[in-house]
Structure 1
Amino acid sequence: MSNVMSNTTSNLKQNKTVKSAVEAVIFDWAGTIVDFGSFAPTTIFVEAFKTEYDFDITLAEARVPMGLGKWDHIQAVGKLDSVAQRWSEKFGQTMLDKDIDLIYNRFIPLQKAKVVDHVEPILNAVNVVNDLKKQGIKIGSCSGYPRAVMDILIPAAAKHGYQPDCVVATDDLTHGGRPAPHMVLKNVIELGVGNVANCIKVDDSTPGIDEGHNAGMWTVGLLLSGNEAGLTAQQFQDATPEVLENARNKARLVMEKSNPHFLIDTIDDLPAIVAEIEQRLSVGERP
């Protein structure tokens, strides 16, 4: 597993005279392309539990299952030892499917109302994506968000310049949820990709990395822009090297569990990884 930690990639960009060996890069959304720190979904989970059941969960607890579809995410939060114990003490039983349904139905309108508050692209994300397009690389995307939320997020992100070639939401498919590979494989089909080994999955969560592995793709995990570090964009920009290294190490402990091929800080570091994967593909290496 390689690590690239530079925060600038201007000296790594190459003028391509031939089409890239990489056919497609498939990105997650929150914590990967938009919403530095992945705050939109996590804060709304906290609010949905509180609003529907007057039950408190912490932001850290809300972050644990990040990357799953949102119904599955709520279920996973309810199964955390700390949450399950408090829930049982308050309600006298474990969380039931009907409880998850009620929290989910509360979550969706809250998320639809507030997702645009966290739509700003992560630093240099749009430039990186547009440079990939110039190399003939197709841009796919998938999300743990349902289609109802994506239908709001997609045009909002487009106003900031982010326009992927394909978007798949977690409920677009009968079996769409991560870590199953169905969402990324739907991207492969829609984008007309010839070989999944020529694709890269980029994500800030372990279910998203597992999704890429299960589809037979190269995988790139993000350490500092996503859920595990939990930094805001301002905190990231103001942080000392020591603070960043501590956040990086904290995120790495979780992300390494899914064994990504590469770990980088943010999407700003991705061009160097694409160049390395191109070189590996040229000598016949596969994920």
Structure 2
Amino acid sequence: MGVHCHRLVLHGEAAQWQARHGQPMGDADVDRLYEVFTPLNAAVVPDFADFIPGVLQTIAAIRGRGLKVGSTTGYNRPIMEVVTAIAARAGFVPDSLVCAGDLATGRPTPLMMWRSFANLGICCPWTVVKVDDTEVGIEEGLNAGSWTVGVSVSGNAMGLTLAEWQALSPAAQAERRAAASAKLRDAGAHYVIDSVADLLPVLDALSQRLARGERPVQPWRA
């Protein structure tokens, strides 16, 4: 999909704009909205930025195995400057960061991942594991030729805070988890886990598959 991330306007939003302004939304309108959105989003990020339980320990274990950690994001640089400062104070700095707007196109094209590969000195995309909580992020990983792992509970696929998740009954959690997992699997995820904190067993399984000479494929083409 050869568009800049911020130029992707959903049908519902376009219809609301048409109803309010009496004409279709144009590129100039999108640019003006984006200029307003970016500082507002950056301003509220500190109120909602926190690490998922267990993730810092998992990242430390991953790096203990000699692996590198790169990040691609749908946020732009001004917003990520706020996010990365918060993350750094907690002890996390990615080995590579590629943001929306850095390249001609964003997700689901693989360009941000390919830039990350170049930054990290990676030649073989099948040695990379793309972990994401969105369907478009899973597609990004598949298009890059990498293994993909969906995160069903702790991210956008679920859309709940930790407190909201914990307040659900076990039956409701199971129902919501199944629905979120199905979305990610339908997008092509090779594995689905609750949280990045659950990633290490998947990495163990993938190490065994790579040792057998296996390569990632898009599941619907397997």
Q: TM-score, normalised by structure 1?
A: 0.71
Q: CA deviation at 1:215?
A: 0.7
Give the partner amino acid of 2:14.
Answer: A
Give secondary structure in 2 for the equivalent of 1:142. strand
Distance between the aligned counterparts of 2:37 and 2:180, measured in 1? 26
Distance between the aligned counterparts of 2:58 and 2:100, measured in 1? 25
> What is residue 70 of structure 2 aligned with on the other side?
140
Equivalent residue for 1:150, pick from 75, 80, 93: 80
Give secondary structure in 1 for the equivalent of 2:158. coil
Runs of 4+ in structure 1 displaced over 3 angstroms? 83-86
What whole-Å deviation, never above 9, does each CA across 1:139-185 have from its counterpart, x for those lacking one? Answer: 1011001111111211111112222111111112233x100101111
Higher relative contact order (CA 8 A, sep 6+): 1
Structure 1, unmatched stretches of 5+, are 1-67
Query: Does 1:251 find its partner at 2:184?
Result: no
Q: TM-score, normalised by structure 2?
A: 0.90
> What is residue 218 of structure 1 aligned with on the other side?
147
Give secondary structure in 2 for the equivalent of 1:263. strand
Matches within 5 A, 1:1-287: 70-72=5-7, 75-77=8-10, 79-80=11-12, 83-175=13-105, 177-287=106-216
What whole-Å deviation, never above 9, does each CA across 1:30-71 have from its counterpart, x for those lacking one? Answer: xxxxxxxxxxxxxxxxxxxxxxxxxxxxxxxxxxxxxx9651
Q: CA deviation at 1:220?
A: 0.4
Distance between the aligned counterparts of 2:14 and 2:86, measured in 1? 36
Percent identical pairs in the alignment equals 36
Query: Is the deviation greater in 232-241 or in 222-231?
Result: 232-241
Q: CA deviation at 1:256?
A: 2.6
Give the partner amino acid of 2:9.
Answer: A
Distance between the aligned counterparts of 2:5 and 2:109, measured in 1? 15
Q: CA deviation at 1:264?
A: 1.1
User: Cα RMSD between the aligned structures?
Assistant: 1.7
Give secondary structure in 2 for the equivalent of 1:187. helix
Would you say the 8 A contact 1:69–1:146 is kept in 2? no
Give secondary structure in 2 for the equivalent of 1:221. strand
Structure 2, unmatched stretches of 5+, are 217-222
Distance between the aligned counterparts of 1:236 and 1:95, measured in 2? 37
Distance between the aligned counterparts of 1:113 and 1:193, measured in 2? 35
